[in-house]
Homo-oligomer: A and B are copies of this chain.
Amino acid sequence: MMVSNKVCENGGECVGLLPATNDDHGGVIVDIEEAMDAKVFVTLLRDSISTWRQQGKKGIWIKLPIGLVNLVEPTVKEGFRYHHAEPTYLMLVRWIPETTDTIPANASHRVGIGAIVLNDKREILKELLNLQGENINEAAVREVKEETGIDTKFLEILAFRQAHKVFFQKSDLFFICMMHPLSSDIKKQDLEIEAAQWMPFEEYAAQPVAQDHQLYKYIAELCLAKEQGDYTGLSPVPITSIFHKDLSYLYLNSRHLNQSLVSSDQF
């Protein structure tokens, strides 16, 4: 909901406010898109905060596109701190009531996938990718198709690794995904990418992998256990929530959960 950007006192004096929308947690989000003089901005910001404080607002978020970098210093000087940044914008935040700050933390983990395709000839094909806001299962299928031309069916997450301080202070989750090939001819889509190839499983498992040696040993072992049919990882089930408009997935061991439940659309 867009908040009115002008508030008039009983006496008739009107103050301009920064353009803002209410969030779902009693705060407001200021999203400035037009260039603005820093002095004008500071006047509007002070008047806005005064009004929001009277209205009992809590967290005040200011999203500044990189083109408005001139407003970063004035915003910090008005008591805001950094919250997160992406290449094109910086998000700042200030908690205005006297109560305890409940500003949520920034994203802490990067997510990567090792997509492993094992065919009926016991040949293996592997692709690595990093995820942004995508579903693991869908990204794995799409990436293998884009990089090799091979259509696949996502089977399971065999395992995952959590590691820390991988990238500055951020953590990392790496999901090992088993895929079944629906076609076999590799079409290299991009000359710059590393050559994709089917490799006999025994040759793959015997590779002297100096980097992440222990992880790669486990991957080979997991593939073997899966191929022999006695290993079960976690497979995706679509799930809906009133909080998330986009389709989400719950990854679970579908072999050992009541099948009627997993396949049911009733709840």
Which residues in A have some Cβ–Cβ distance to B below 8 Å? 66, 69-70, 72-73, 76-77, 81-91, 104-111, 130-136, 158-171, 173, 210-215, 217-218, 221-222, 225, 230-234, 237, 239-246, 248-253, 256-258, 261, 267
State A134–B162 Cα separation when bound (angstroms). Answer: 9
A106 touches B107 (CB 8 A): yes
Contact of A240 among B105, B158, B214, B267 (CB under 8 A): B214
Known: A163-B244, A164-B133. A82 touches B73 (CB 8 A): no
From A81, A86, A162, A169, name the one whose CB has the most chain B CB atoms within 10 angstroms: A162
Q: Could you list 29 examples of A-B contacts with CB < 8 Å?
A: A69-B72, A72-B73, A81-B88, A83-B85, A83-B87, A90-B90, A104-B110, A105-B110, A106-B107, A107-B108, A108-B131, A133-B169, A158-B253, A160-B234, A160-B251, A161-B250, A163-B248, A164-B244, A165-B245, A165-B246, A210-B242, A211-B242, A212-B241, A218-B237, A221-B257, A231-B253, A232-B232, A232-B256, A233-B252
Q: For A73, list chain B residues within 8 Å (CB).
A: 69-70, 72-73
State A110–B253 Cα separation when bound (angstroms). Answer: 23
Known: A158-B252, A159-B251, A267-B217. A222 touches B106 (CB 8 A): no
Contact of A250 among B130, B170, B215 (CB under 8 A): B215
Q: For A248, list chain B residues within 8 Å (CB).
A: 161-164
* Known contacts A164-B246, A232-B232; 6 further A-B pairs (Cβ under 8 A): A69-B76, A111-B173, A132-B171, A215-B239, A215-B250, A218-B252
A109 touches B109 (CB 8 A): yes
Contact of A257 among B168, B225, B243 (CB under 8 A): B225
Q: How many copies does the complex hold?
A: 2
**How far, in Å, is A231 (CB) from chain B's closest CB?**
4
Q: For A250, list chain B residues within 8 Å (CB).
A: 159-161, 215, 218
State A158–B66 Cα separation when bound (angstroms). Answer: 42
State A133–B165 Cα separation when bound (angstroms). Answer: 7
Contact of A82 among B90, B130, B214, B244 (CB under 8 A): B90
Known: A165-B246, A169-B86, A241-B212. A132 touches B110 (CB 8 A): no
CB-CB nearest in chain B for A156: B253
B234 touches A233 (CB 8 A): yes
CB-CB nearest in chain B for A135: B162
From A82, A166, A167, A242, name the one whose CB has the most chain B CB atoms within 10 angstroms: A82
